[in-house]
Structure 1
Amino acid sequence: MTETNKKGKKLGLTTKTFIALIAGAIVGVIMHYCVPSGYIKDTILVNGVFYVVGNGFLRLMQMLVVPLVFCSLVCGSAAIGDTQTLGKVGVKTICFYFVTTALAVGVALAFANVINPGLGLNMEAVVAAENTAVSTDVSFVDTLLNIIPKNPIQGLAEGNMLQIILFALIIGIILAKLGEKTSTVLNFFTQFNDIMMEMTMMVMALAPYGVFCLIAKTFSGIGFDAFIPLLKYMLGVLGALAIQCFGVYMIMLVLFTRLSPVKFIKKFFPVMAFAFSTATSNATIPLSIDTLAEKMGVSRRISSFTIPLGATINMDGTAIMQGVAVVFAAQAFGIELGVAEYITVIATAALASIGTAGVPGVGLITLSMVFNSVGLPLEGITLIMGIDRILDMTRTAVNITGDAVCTTIVAHQNGELNREIFETE
């Protein structure tokens, strides 16, 4: 009984990280307004302990990006390659997921540029100028050509994410095509992917310490000026998620199936609530399949394929968070992003959704990949890390709703949707 009570009272990683965010902000604000500049404050604390611990955590996150994304993409695209056996169903599903993800990033970028979440937050006082240097001289044509790696090993070493994504997708598709001939290689990538996921969890366990030091260092330099942009960032993500879930998805549902969006949301809401509480797409797979079959008349033959696939590659909510975060960081650091950079963000976030595992918190790891693709400083991630849990829960609910809408549309187009069941109250 005692052990159970102790376990019940034990704080989770999310709670610890949020507490670290609040504590770091308080400590930073106190140091900004109450502690005079001097050797102890500036050298030992701000540029010593806070800098070393905070940036050490950032480096650990950067360490994970290339191997984690590469292995996840190989495994994900290998699974996609199997969809050839389902012919048109597979093609429609994959096209739907990629299109909605690209739309999601577009919605996020547009909405964020309307509310301007990063304006008024001057991060140049916190981060050295060399970290914010961005080259905008590369043309759009060269950006497209640079997706194709001349040397994939060099691309991996340099962390060129678009090249890594393309190379990993090709390997995964070939592994799926060759089947049993390359089962040993596929098993290696699958097992190494498991290793990287475990390493990710180990690194994320250090998040409270890293977040505290990074936030304390940030607020010690800018004080209360960081609060309003942070709230605007949250509203930006939540607003874009609402547009995607209740706008884009429902319009597509009506256009392709003529079904009632109100009934769809009403019947699927329990699954959305479950996804919100767990913040993991993978955990909702059985509940989604059962709900679609029993309440909406979707054939299990379709949903048993599209729902697990969606949990792997359809991360519209994560893509939205990444889109808003890009605008937030660019404005906070005073970096101008052109059309080529925005197109790069859309492409990177859409393709990276394949490598985003359906577990809590991993979206922050791939966010660093999106930042790298357009040269944004990773310090921008630390501002949003502590409040990411509530956003993670919300975007997971959006992710699985997109999976369900896609499944319903594909089932309707293949004559495997029982409309009578859907219309039943």
Structure 2
Amino acid sequence: MGLGIAVGLTMSFTGQIELFGNTIDLTRFTAHWIKPFGDIFIKLLKLIAVPLVLVSLINGVSSMSDISKLSKMGPKTIGIYLLTTVIAVSIGLIFVNVFEPGKGFSEETRNMFADKFASAVSSKQSVAAKVGDAGPLQALLDMVPSNIFASASDNGSMLKVIFFAILFGIALVMIPKEKAAPVKAFFEGVDAVILTMVNLIMLFAPFGVFALLASLITDIASGDPSKAAELLMTLLQYSAVVVLGLATMAFGIYPLLLKIIGKYSYSKFMKGIFPAQIMAFSTSSSAATLPVTMKQVEEELDVHEDTASFVLPLGATINMDGTSLYQGVAAVFIAQAYGIDLSLGQQLSIVLTATLASIGSAAVPGAGVVMLIIVLGQLGLPTSGIALILAPDRILDMCRTVVNVTGDASVCIMVDRTTEGHAPLK
């Protein structure tokens, strides 16, 4: 990570060099010769994510000899996920109202951002319009696949894969044991193969993380680091409020919940989950980080495999604490920038809208911006206001993904420690 940031900064500030009589643009060099290795790493993680979720969930559900255990674990998991999401949005709203970062925006600065990010805003608006036009039960409809193979090939259809895997696992428990045995043995073998593939992919992790961060720095600078610095400084207060809220969740709320509900040491938790947090920071994707999260939770945090295989894939899809907190801060920030006062009722509606939006938010980079447009539309705020927050969004996306993944792992431990018959493994 450090080397990637250092190389990215060096490339950005140097700009061009002369080598053997040829002028080499270092920004283009980074894009063409370094960034592809980061993209390959993300592709490898996404390659393994769907089969890992499918096989792990089938193994986890089918290992429950009593289906009532699943019926108890499911509502508990969703309930804790919703609780942490509501807390996250509330914290974001408190901080943005106390510090009021949007009050410092001038009309000139607002117009500058609107012009700079006009095309990006337009593309996000078109995606959000399709989501916003859907009916109230669309989320339920989207959960049920009509073709599992098509769903497995679509990054945004992880809920459909989860639905199929749970249904398959339940059916496997219900059929006679002699017929289920060879099927279970097959999936246990496939699970071992997939986990070995995860270990092989992780050997490439240092190179992938280096390439991702080096290319990110040069992309932000766009060959002009002074311009990037100016943009980031303009939004420093906004970014600080978001990061403060995220830090409060990671180092305040989760430790408290782990202590009260899970009776678990937070220092041990942070040490065990750190590799997954690094991966989340580098990839900005909960789904891409899922293989690492599952590996760490099972091997380092003493969580039973059947709990991890059920709770974590579900969390990577519906639990977006960091994203929800960011949506609350960003919505009020944009209202402040436009001089619009939001009533208490309107701000409370952000809690509900952001919580529901997080359930449908894809676990991929940038999905939070699309969900933010839905929140802004519900409040009657100008959706063009997202231009004001797009400059630092990639970096903030990395930070909020860390909180998303940390929240998934925290809830997984809480569910495991409160599940009957699940004594600590160590």
For residues 29-86 of structure 1, the C-alpha deviation after alignment (integer angstroms, 9 at most, x for no partner) is xxxxxxxxxxxxxxxxxxxxxxxxxxxxxxxxxxxxxxxxxxxxxxxxxx9xx99982
Aligned to 1:100, which of 63, 84, 109?
84
User: How far did residue 267 of structure 1 move?
Assistant: 1.6
- Distance in 2 (CA, whole Å) between partners of 1:163 and 1:340 is 23
Residue 398 of structure 2 is matched in structure 1 by 393
Instruction: Give the equivalent residue in structure 1 for 2:238.
Output: 233
TM-score (norm 2): 0.60
How many percent identity over aligned positions? 37
Q: Distance in 2 between matches of 1:111 and 1:84?
A: 41
Letter in 2 for 1:169: A
Q: Secondary structure at the match of 2:146?
A: helix
Query: How far does residue 295 in structure 1 lie from its aligned partner after superposition?
Result: 1.3
Quick check: 2:103–2:337 contact (8 Å CA) kept in 1? yes
Q: Deviations over 1:262-308 (max 9, x none)?
A: 22112211211111111110112122112111112111101101101
Pairing 1:259–2:264 present: yes
Q: Equivalents in 2 of 1:284, 1:250: separation in Å?
A: 21
Distance 1:293-1:126 versus aligned 2 partners, 3 A rule = closer
**Secondary structure in structure 1 of the residue aligned to 2:351:** helix
> What amino acid sits opposite 1:116 in the alignment?
E
Is structure 2 residue 92 aligned with structure 1 residue 87? no
Aligned to 2:99: 115
**Structure 1 residue 8 and structure 2 residue 13: aligned?**
no
Matches of 1:318 and 1:350, distance apart in 2: 10
Corresponding residue number in structure 2 for 1:403:
408
* Structure 2 counterpart of 1:296: 301
CA RMSD of aligned residues (A): 3.7
Aligned-partner SS, 2:412: helix
**Alpha-carbon displacement from aligned partner over 1:223-253 (angstroms, at most 9, x marks no partner):** x8x8766111000100000011111111111
What is the Cα deviation at residue 193 of structure 1? 7.9
Q: Normalized against structure 1, the TM-score is what?
A: 0.60
Contact conserved, 1:119 with 1:229, CA < 8 A, in 2? no
In the other structure, the counterpart of 1:200 is none
1:193–1:264 CA distance, 2 compared to 1 (3 A): closer
- Tell me the equivalent position of 2:137: 167
Deviations 1:371-412 (A, max 9, x none): 111011123211211211111111111001100111101111
- Structure 2 counterparts to residues 412-423 of structure 1, below 5 A: 412-415=417-420, 417-419=422-424, 421=426
DSSP-derived class of the 1:419 partner: coil
Contact 2:92 2:325 in 1 (8 A): yes
2:337 alignment partner in structure 1: 332
Counterpart secondary structure, 2:105: coil
CA distance in 1, matches of 2:70, 2:282: 33
Q: Distance in 1 between matches of 2:353 and 2:131?
A: 8
- Residue type at the aligned position of 2:32: K
Structure 1 unaligned regions, length at least 5 = 15-78, 128-155, 176-182, 196-210, 213-218
Structure 2: runs of 5+ lacking an equivalent: 1-27, 40-56, 62-66, 112-125, 158-219, 222-226
Aligned to 1:18: none
Opposite residue 7 of structure 1, the aligned amino acid is H
**Residue 166 of structure 1 aligns to a residue in which SS?**
coil
**2:189 aligned with 1:184:** no
Q: CA deviation at 1:101?
A: 0.8
SS at match of 1:365: helix
- The 2-side partners of 1:84 and 1:342 are apart by 39
CA distance in 1, matches of 2:131, 2:30: 45
Q: Which moved more, 1:237-246 or 1:84-93?
A: 84-93
1:351 to 332, 353, 356: 356
Displacement of 1:163 in angstroms is 8.2
> Could you tell me which residue of structure 2 aligns to residue 138 of structure 1?
none
> Structure 1, residues 2-23: CA drift from partner, whole Å, max 9, x if none?
x998732569999xxxxxxxxx
Q: Superposition pairs for residues 200-215 of structure 1, below 5 Å?
A: none
Looking at structure 1, the residues matched to 132 and 345 of structure 2 have their Cα atoms a distance apart, in angstroms, of 14
Tell me the number of residue pairs that the alignment of Structure 1 and Structure 2 aligns. Answer: 291
1:243 and 2:248 correspond: yes
Say whether the 8 Å CA contact 1:160–1:373 is kept in structure 2.
no
Asked whether the equivalents of residues 156 and 362 of structure 2 are also in contact (C-alpha less than 8 Å), the reply is no
Distance in 2 (alpha carbons) for counterparts of 1:236 and 1:126: 19
AA aligned to 1:109 is L
